[in-house]
């Protein structure tokens, strides 16, 4: 579903440079849903954002053969001066969807009510997240990217998110970062482990989880 060609990516946090990937080349299979494992701060979120395309590699190329969502709940791509409806239409246009149908779906799903028509700059963080979630369900992506959250909002809305997400899974795939083994086992059937700038692929979530336990006990030399 996605191919990395000698990709390098590092990021700086608190003055420390961290290498997430060093000259990594790999292809992820189209028919699997993949759990992403790795120690804290190793760059799981960075990997998800590289796959989404919201981050660019320092070196190398990433080729996408499927339509990937943005990380679920990520609301950073809304234009603050456009309304919820206008942002929805913008997304419909760039992904070649029917504006009217998407607008209707999103207005209904997001439960924004009267707030659908004022600019996004007037939204609370929760409202933005609901809009973003509704949009990513409405666009019908082929691969959904999950960074810890599969639902947003209050308990009731979260349940609705999870339900919608499960429904999508009968025709879409997922790449998921989560600290919940139950969630990973429910949605994924393969795993990758990031460690020391490298990426290891496993044919089962269990295989990746075992390797993860191993590097927790004894990290690979960088």
Name the one range near another protein by CB under 8 A: 25-33, 72-80, 147-155, 157-165: 72-80
Enter the DSSP assignment of 53: T
Q: Which of residues 35-54 bind another protein (CB under 8 A)?
A: 52-54
In whole angstroms, how close is the CB of 206 to another protein at the nearest point? 32
Strand spans (E) along 58-172: 59-64, 143-147
CB 13 within 8 A of CB 40: no
When the beta carbons of 15 and 221 are compared against another protein, the nearer one is 15
Burial class (CB in 10 A: 0-12, 13-18, 19+), 101: exposed
Among 25, 77, 167, 180, binds another protein (CB under 8 A): 77
Q: Does 84 bind another protein (CB under 8 A)?
A: no
When the beta carbons of 57 and 191 are compared against another protein, the nearer one is 57
* 173 three-class SS: strand
Find all residues with CB under 8 Å of 78, minimum gap 6, and list them.
Answer: 87, 120, 128, 131, 132
Dig out the tokens for 19 from the structure. 């290498």
Q: Does 19 bind another protein (CB under 8 A)?
A: no
Closest CA to 196 of 182, 211, 186, 185: 211
Among 25, 30, 41, 58, binds another protein (CB under 8 A): 58
Among 5, 95, 183, 207, binds another protein (CB under 8 A): 95
Among 76, 155, 156, 218, binds another protein (CB under 8 A): 76
Name the one range near another protein by CB under 8 A: 15-23, 74-82, 106-114, 211-219: 74-82
Total residues interacting with another protein, rule: CB under 8 A: 26
Dig out the tokens for 210 from the structure. 């075992």
Enter the DSSP assignment of 158: H
**Residues at the site binding another protein, with contacts judged by CB under 8 A:** 52-58, 64, 68, 70, 74, 76-82, 86, 89-91, 93-96
């Amino acid at each position: 579903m996605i191919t990395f060609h000698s990709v390098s990516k590092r990021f700086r946090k608190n003055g420390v440079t961290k290498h997430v990937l060093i000259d990594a080349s790999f292809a992820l299979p189209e028919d699997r849903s993949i759990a992403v494992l790795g120690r804290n701060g190793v760059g799981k979120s960075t990997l998800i954002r590289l796959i989404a395309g919201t981050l660019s590699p320092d070196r190398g190329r990433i080729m996408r053969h499927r339509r990937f969502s943005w990380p679920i709940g990520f609301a950073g791509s809304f234009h603050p001066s456009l309304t919820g409806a206008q942002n929805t239409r913008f997304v419909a246009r760039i992904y070649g969807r029917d504006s009217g149908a998407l607008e209707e779906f999103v207005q209904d799903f997001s439960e924004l009510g009267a707030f659908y028509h004022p600019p996004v700059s007037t939204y609370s963080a929760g409202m933005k997240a609901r809009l973003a979630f509704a949009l990513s369900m409405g666009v019908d992506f082929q691969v959904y990217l999950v960074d810890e959250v599969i639902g947003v909002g209050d308990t009731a809305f979260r349940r609705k998110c999870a339900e919608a997400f499960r429904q999508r899974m009968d025709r879409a795939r997922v790449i998921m970062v989560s600290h919940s083994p139950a969630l990973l086992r429910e949605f994924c059937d393969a795993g990758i482990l990031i460690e020391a700038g490298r990426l290891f692929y496993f044919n089962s979530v269990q295989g990746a989880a075992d390797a993860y336990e191993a590097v927790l006990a004894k990290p690979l030399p960088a």
